[in-house]
Amino acid sequence: MHIAFYAPLKSPNHPVPSGDREMARLLIRAMQSAGHKVELVSELRSFSKTPEGPVQKEIHNSAARERARIAKLWQTVVKPDLWFTYHTYYKAPDLLGPDLASMFELPYVTAEASYSKSRDGGEWKEQQSYVVAGLRQAALNICFTQRDEIGLQEIVSNERLGRLAPFIDVAAFSADPTPVHSNQFVTVAMMRPGDKLDSYRMLAASLAQLEHIPWTLRIVGDGPSKAEVQACFDQIGNRIEWLGQKQSQEVMEILYGSGVYIWPGFGEAYGIAYLEAQAAGLPVVAQEVAGVPEVVKNGITGILTPVNDVSAFSRAIEQLCANSEGRFGMGKAAREFVFAERSLEQASRRLAWLLEKYVRRDQ
């Protein structure tokens, strides 16, 4: 099929690296691998931190112009067979796809859409209404996590829901890892307010309880909260190596040279970085929170600790430090898990099956 792809939160061409941008790129590649022609139909970003005012007005005006542009284009060229929207939610509704899909009689599909009933009222209700309308219009809503699927079940029938496990391109991790015996920890995360900053704070507090053992931590990341993040680790001293923002190849090399991936993961939809770390043969220490259990197998590929329990998080790190054999075993299991269950190739086959089952049957 010829698929029109759109990501209202962040275009796959956005200059700032993130898990969201990476998954948009991976979805495109997965569909292309299945034989589909995928076209990035628009780079309009509908994300806003404010529910009303000049910013929202400009977003809606831009969306109207973009709908008109695409509609005019499709009247002169061959229109696509399907509209595919990645990651729509109340702060980044799809203001293009539902209208254009209706106008040109195209099947509409969403992936990783989020719905929370609490947003039906209050200041975000208008933006939420666009999300709900799109979800109900969709021939298929692809859910990456059980949490998202449960949310969508409140407004969409199960017949319009499909599951796709989070995945990565494992080809970049084809080299066999060499076990790192030192307590060399690593984390890869943006530095921004909210859940990311909260995770950094918990990480620092947990490591502060481990002064009695030798360890170092390499942090890959940058962002507007960099100064606040660095301040969290002031009490720890020179055990932290600040590496800043890195490209994908550099991140992979850093992961291969590390021993344990540690990141609390507040608010993580699932976390591509967890999958990449495991593909490099690293066990993970994270919290059993949000979508993290979808990508880390507790007790097998890593250790998931209770939410907000700093001491438990610290003990989990220490446990892996004290048991090299167990750490290597978890790392081996982690790599096998990602290669066997979370590869781009598997995702491509699953996507092809979902689109065949849910979309072609309606055409």
Averaged in consecutive runs of 10 residues, what is the pLDDT profile of the chain (363 residues)?
Answer: 96 90 96 96 95 93 97 93 96 97 96 92 93 96 94 93 96 88 90 96 97 94 96 91 93 95 95 96 96 96 98 96 92 97 96 89 50
Instruction: Give residue 182's pLDDT.
Output: 75
Q: Classify 6 as helix, strand or coil.
A: strand
Structure tokens given for 49: 């931190």
Contact 140, 160 (CB under 8 A): yes
Residues 279, 259: Cα–Cα separation, whole Å = 13
For the chain, the residue count is 363
Same domain, 178 and 104: no
Which stretch of DSSP H or E encloses residue 142? Answer: strand 140-143
CA distances from 143 to 137, 169, 272 (A): 16, 19, 15
Same domain, 175 and 62: no
Instruction: Give residue 318's pLDDT.
Output: 96
Task: Note the maximum CA span of the chain.
Answer: 70
Same domain, 199 and 100: no
Residues 223, 332: Cα–Cα separation, whole Å = 32
Half-sphere exposure of 151 (CA within 13 A, CB side): 24
For the chain, how many structural domains are there in total? 2
Sign of CA dihedral 226, 229, 230, 231: positive
Same domain, 13 and 156: yes
Which domain does 106 fall in, by range? 2-167+343-362
- DSSP per-residue string spanning 25-93: HHHHHHHHHTT-EEEE--------SSSSSHHHHHHHHHHHHHHHHHHHHHTTSPPPSEEEEE--BTTB-
Neighbours of 307 (CB within 10 A): 15
Same domain, 73 and 118: yes
Structure tokens given for 17: 């690296």
CA distances from 289 to 166, 224, 286, 354 (A): 16, 24, 8, 28
Instruction: Give residue 65's pLDDT.
Output: 97
Same domain, 10 and 101: yes
Same domain, 134 and 104: yes
Same domain, 34 and 182: no
Q: Who's near 356: CB < 8 A, 6+ residues apart?
A: none
Structure tokens given for 256: 């291969």
Contact 197, 229 (CB under 8 A): yes
Same domain, 181 and 323: yes
Residues 41, 65: Cα–Cα separation, whole Å = 14
Contact 244, 221 (CB under 8 A): yes
